[in-house]
Structure 1
């Protein structure tokens, strides 16, 4: 008698590969965070319920203390009028916010940080996902592009790669732009200076460069005021450096720094200590600071 055919329905499912120690720690941490979030949400809901109940009792006691029916009616009408005024004020404020946003969308510079790299980053490095469908108005900023960005176009929306790179994914933003049919361009850094150290710029550096250029309409000023001096190296040709407001000999922000980290600075031959600027672009949980580096390398 031949061997019975295996029954796919009763065969045990293939066991999932065991998690590594670090993966288990991340999973437990995420579970604890979700539990605390649920507890805070429940506590806030209970607080609002108690507050509403307290205010209801106070109102009923106030009504009960009215001397006459006419006074009670005036109190009720006054309460209704106050509520109407509050709702009208909220409606006006909402309309003003919408109008400001509409105006910013029409005349303001559009800028996007691309966070569609979830499969390449750890969970704490994932911030959000940005999706755009107006591809003809998109410009992906990447050093691998052939086109040099000479000016900012209000009709365009510029994308910064929100990826903690560590130089592991060279050319990935250019490939992403090509795969999705998006225009690409690079900052004109090479026209003004040579980078003396790592050529990777952080997300906040690229954002500040674009913001400074928008304010001054001068790339040279933008680069010298944002890029730290230690990373700039020698100038191209005889270009005169503008007034330098960039952090002098600041810690290399390319390799994410911890909150409160201190770096030694030289000032007139004396060593001073200065706390490094914290990265404000990427917020991570429980105070961990890991600066998100732009996938824009120059």
Structure 2
């Protein structure tokens, strides 16, 4: 698939600006594809509408959860007031002081943890495994897809903060709509990541030989992570409109490609397409465990993989018997789930 004219030579020039309209002013068909983009198939159109309904439902659930949380807080305040009202003056004073002391202790612990995390991320920027989130492909995406990608980037950073072996994250091609969305995230300015408006091919041109693009279309399976390499995850949420684009892009730029060893360790129930944050979490989990199978099992949801571990030779011949309705004969066949995925996905 073509790159639609996106190359590193003019990567530092500013592109799209401005934010998406607020929900109340957003047109009904904000997901319409721009002129020049491949048209959505009937199946993809249905999936898109289904995703829109899901997003609307999620917004309603979020509002309801907020109301429940506020009611819970109010109930706790009332319970506390009732508890104090039933105590004598000395008991009430001691209880209040104990609560104040516990709160101070929690805050001190939180401050200490925050400082340790901050230092850990600073160290990762100096010596951690380099992982690039390629945001160049945002120029091909709709407003809703960019919002989904923004959420996935947030999940990546949250996972990196929790990791005992955090990576050195690069956000390349961070400009236009995706940049304006991220800048609205509380604390984004303080993230310990490299934020580059230029594309990776320009920002890391001195280390081009070490660039490695992760794409499911590659014939090369990654055996282990090389600390000298810079692994690139394509930030593309496209509803399968741009199949093979990351592989084509890497080939055009003359950089190496690899794919995760998913089929070597797991039997997936559907495709091997994962979200940005899932790919990122697999990488940082591997940095900690040094075991691909454990890393994949820990990150990939159960619904995406078979109950039976077919990578184990002892399970290879496990079959189930089904009845043929037409002939009444019984036939042995290997069982595979056909569960459909409904979440936002990424080509890797």
| TM-score calculated relative to the size of structure 2 | 0.42
TM (norm. structure 1) is 0.48
Rg comparison, structure with higher value: 1
Bigger relative contact order (CA 8 A; separation at least 6): 2
